Amino acid sequence: MIFKNLLIEQKGSLQYIIINRESKLNALNNETIHELLFALESAFGNPEVRGLIITGAGKKAFVAGADIAEFNGINADEAAAIAKIGHKVFDKIENGSKPVIAAINGFALGGGLELALACHIRIATQAARLGLPEVSLGLIPGYGGTQRLTKLVGKGKALEIILTADLITAEDAFQFGLVNKVVAPDDLLMYAEELLNKILTRSPKAIEFAINAINAAENQVDGFQNEIKLFASCFATNDAKEGITAFLEKRKPDFKGN
């Protein structure tokens, strides 16, 4: 498959998947999500790939979210389909047989933070900004964020992050365990590679089983299904229409609460 929105780079037994839509801050449109699914299936099925680093092209963004332009005018059924394919991709990362590190090189917002949350380890640069700003669009996170963030940082902090829609500095994210390490921008990939290469010196089968065992500590199914339903329901509201339109028109939304 020739990718339009991803760059794949092999370095020894580690592989980079680089989200490459720099002009849209690497926002995940439908095509990119499908390419990501294909790239992950290829990487997990390729014995020459033993671990993955996911990052964003350019200096500004890891991934600034799902592509809001594609939310414009869609109905609840279409939104459910979008959420389901996103869940499929991110579940594949979280439950995959190989370690995946998110190298967060800038904005990791909405679906971008949800992508990072699905990875096994998150490394961020000092300049990175993280957040789940969906409620400012009249939406809720729809790619697993309500579940994975809550499990990672606890209910209180997850509520604060999701309800305020605030952007969080990398240092703050480190303080409450949202990222594993903060490094200088120029050191990001070197650090991520060192960490992944250390993991790759351990037993691949034990790594696979450890990921599986740790994931089994959480029973995710009901929460995720519930999230898909609620995400889809947002698209039946006027607030979502207003939030999406306002973003595209580069103005502040005027929410009516219906």
> Which stretches of the chain bind ligand COA, using CB under 6 A?
24-25, 27, 64-69, 107, 109-111, 133-134, 137
94 has catalytic annotation = no
Query: Nearest 5 degrees, angle CA 63-CA 43-CA 23?
Result: 25
Who's near 199: CB < 8 A, 6+ residues apart? 51, 99, 207
Minimum distance, C-beta of residue 123 to ligand COA, in the bound complex (Å): 20
Q: Measured from the CB atom, is 101 or 137 closer to ligand COA?
A: 137
The distance of closest approach from Cβ of residue 31 to ligand COA in the complex, given in angstroms and rounded to an integer, is 13
Catalytic option among 134, 194, 218, 242: 134
Closer to ligand COA at the Cβ: 49 or 165?
Answer: 165
Cα 73 versus chain centre, distance = 23
Identify which of residues 7 and 248 has a Cβ nearer to ligand COA in the complex.
248
Q: Considering the complex, what minimum distance in angstroms separates the CB of residue 104 from ligand COA?
A: 13
9 in active site: no
Q: Pairing state of beta strands 14-19 and 61-63?
A: unpaired
Determine the residue type at 35.
E
Q: How far is CA 202 from CA 13, 96, 189, 206, 210, in A?
A: 13, 17, 20, 8, 11
Among 92, 10, 19, 18, smallest CA distance to 49 is for 10
β-bridge partners, 18: 7, 55
Per the residue annotation, which of 35, 114, 193, 227 is the catalytic one?
Answer: 114
Instruction: Give the nearer residue to ligand COA in terms of CB position, either 137 or 192.
Output: 137
Smallest gap from Cβ 64 to ligand COA, in A, equals 4
CB of 193 to ligand COA, least distance (A): 26
Nearer to ligand COA, 21 or 50 (CB): 21
Residues assigned a catalytic role:
114, 134
